[in-house]
């Protein structure tokens, strides 16, 4: 699965313009310190990989490329390859339905399993009534990534609803949602955060293909994303963990959850068949956007959809943590290989 010459040339020019030798050297030194290697060869290899192997410096680091052979590296997805796939197969205009969380909620309302409202389209009385039904609310910035636009409020002490509404609107937090109640098994890992399952799928017009499956775990914050201290473990086709969890951002390994002590290596997504059925239905809804990373929360009785990402987000195993030396690229190649040559 070779990426098109046009895409590679564009990437090379972009990387060349952003090249900062000090930043790359710092990455090389960090990798060398963590893996007991010599920094200069890693530095050269990172430059070569960026120029000729479609591998950004952060991809090189997060996927432990310094520990992998050339053939093993070819089995891993990189940011460039994934971005090119997403832009090649997904209709950019239709993808706005996924990009904007309010548009997403409208399009996938029957999969949400929760009440929501658009704050700038209603008044303070409606917000107060919503909070009376759901004293803790989730407020979101409609267009944001990595959990950065998600906030949680306990409204028990709010007395001036006009002022509270104005404050939220001023911050851009105009999507208000009912909190999700997660499955007791997931809550046993971290009750303070909804621990979500990410499944990246490709719809070929007939079949929905699950390509990457990941379980994310929070640490008590409003989101389980890395930006909030979260970590993840890769999943097999049966929804079972394939090894320890890790952050992908630094040397880390979680055999158990740091707070609850629950086993990560023995984790099994509850109601797995229902989770797969849910993303299968969701993936068919906008066929012009066939390559999507879905975030799913498993409730006590059924899974619900949180959002869809038209650029799915790069999740790969780390050999230094899991011992697994093959990535998800072969699975992508089997169903999406032609897209890279567009």
Report the SS3 class of residue 245.
Answer: strand
Instruction: Please give the residue that has the higher pLDDT: either 322 or 285.
Output: 285
Span 161-186, pLDDT tens digits? 999 999 999 999 999 999 999 999 99
Are residues 206 and 294 located together in one domain of the fold? yes
Give the contacts of 125 (CB within 8 A, at least 6 positions apart): 161
Contact criterion met (CB below 8 Å) for 330 and 75: yes
Domain count, the chain: 3
Handedness of CA 244, 249, 252, 256 (dihedral sign): negative
Q: Which of 103, 62, 107 is nearest to 82 (CA)?
A: 62
Are residues 273 and 291 located together in one domain of the fold? yes
Which residue among 177, 197, 219 closes a domain?
177
Span 216-246, pLDDT tens digits? 999 988 888 887 789 999 999 999 999 999 9
Span 290-341, pLDDT tens digits? 999 999 999 999 999 999 999 998 999 999 999 999 999 999 999 997 766 6
Are residues 215 and 237 located together in one domain of the fold? yes
Are residues 169 and 36 located together in one domain of the fold? no
For residue 258, which phi and psi values (nearest 5 degrees)?
A: -60, -30
- pLDDT for 51 beyond 80: yes
Global pTM? 0.92
Are residues 279 and 190 located together in one domain of the fold? yes
Are residues 287 and 300 located together in one domain of the fold? yes
Confidence band for 144, pLDDT divided at 50, 70 and 90: confident
What mean pLDDT is predicted for residues 190-198?
96
What mean pLDDT is predicted for residues 260-279?
98
Contact criterion met (CB below 8 Å) for 197 and 269: yes
pLDDT given for residue 170 in this prediction? 97
Q: Which residues of 31-66 are buried (b: 16+ CB within 10 A; e: fewer)?
A: bbeeeeeebeebbebbbebbeebbbbbebbbbbbbb
The domain in which residue 273 lies consists of 91-99+182-309
Report the SS3 class of residue 75.
Answer: coil
């Amino acid at each position: 699965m070779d990426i098109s010459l046009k895409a590679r040339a564009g990437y090379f020019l972009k990387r060349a313009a952003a090249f900062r030798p000090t930043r790359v050297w710092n990455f090389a030194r960090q990798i060398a310190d963590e893996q007991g290697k010599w920094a200069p060869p890693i530095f050269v290899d990172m430059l070569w990989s960026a120029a000729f192997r479609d591998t950004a410096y952060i991809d090189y680091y997060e996927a432990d490329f310094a520990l992998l052979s050339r053939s093993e590296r070819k089995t891993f997805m990189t940011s460039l390859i994934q971005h090119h796939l997403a832009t090649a197969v997904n209709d950019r205009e239709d993808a706005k339905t996924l990009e904007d969380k309010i548009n997403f909620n409208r399009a996938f309302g029957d999969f949400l399993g929760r009440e929501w409202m658009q704050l700038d389209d209603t008044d303070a009385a409606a917000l107060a009534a919503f909070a009376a039904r759901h004293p803790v609310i989730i407020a979101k910035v409609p267009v944001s990534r990595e959990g950065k636009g998600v906030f949680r409020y306990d409204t028990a002490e709010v007395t001036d609803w006009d002022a509270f509404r104005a404050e939220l609107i001023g911050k851009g937090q105009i999507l208000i949602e009912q909190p999700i109640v997660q499955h007791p098994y997931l809550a046993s890992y971290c009750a303070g955060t909804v621990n979500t399952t990410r499944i990246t799928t490709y719809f070929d017009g007939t079949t929905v293909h699950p390509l990457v499956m990941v379980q994310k775990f929070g640490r008590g914050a409003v989101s389980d994303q890395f930006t909030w201290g979260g970590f993840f473990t890769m999943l097999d086709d049966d929804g079972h963990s394939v090894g320890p969890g890790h952050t992908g951002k630094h040397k880390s390994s979680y055999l158990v959850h740091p707070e609850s002590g629950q086993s990560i290596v023995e984790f099994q997504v509850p109601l797995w068949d229902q989770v797969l059925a849910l993303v299968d239905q969701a993936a068919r809804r906008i066929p012009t956007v066939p390559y999507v990373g879905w975030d799913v929360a498993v409730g006590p009785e059924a899974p619900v959809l949180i959002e869809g990402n038209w650029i799915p987000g790069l999740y790969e195993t780390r050999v230094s943590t899991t011992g697994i030396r093959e990535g998800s690229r072969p699975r992508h190649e089997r169903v999406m290989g032609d897209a890279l040559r567009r």
